[in-house]
Amino acid sequence: MKISQCIDNQPQERKVAFFAGSFDPFTRGHEDIVLRALRLFDEVVIAIGINPDKRGFLTIEQRKQWIEACMASHDRVRVVTFSGLAADAARDNGACCFIKGIRSMQDYEYEMQMAQANHDLCGLDTVLLYTAPQLAHVSSTLVRQLHALGHDISEYIPNAAPIYLLA
Active site residues: 30, 54, 103, 140
Give the number of residues written for the chain. Answer: 167
**Are the C-beta atoms of residues 101 and 29 closer than 8 Å to each other?**
yes
The SS3 of residue 50 is coil
**Strand order from edge to edge, sheet including 43-49:** 77-82, 43-49, 16-21, 97-102, 125-130
The SS3 of residue 29 is helix
**Are the C-beta atoms of residues 91 and 60 closer than 8 Å to each other?**
no
For the CA atoms of the chain, what is the radius of gyration? Answer: 16
Q: How far apart are CA 87 and CA 93, in angstroms?
A: 10
Q: How far apart are CA 34 and CA 72, in angstroms?
A: 13
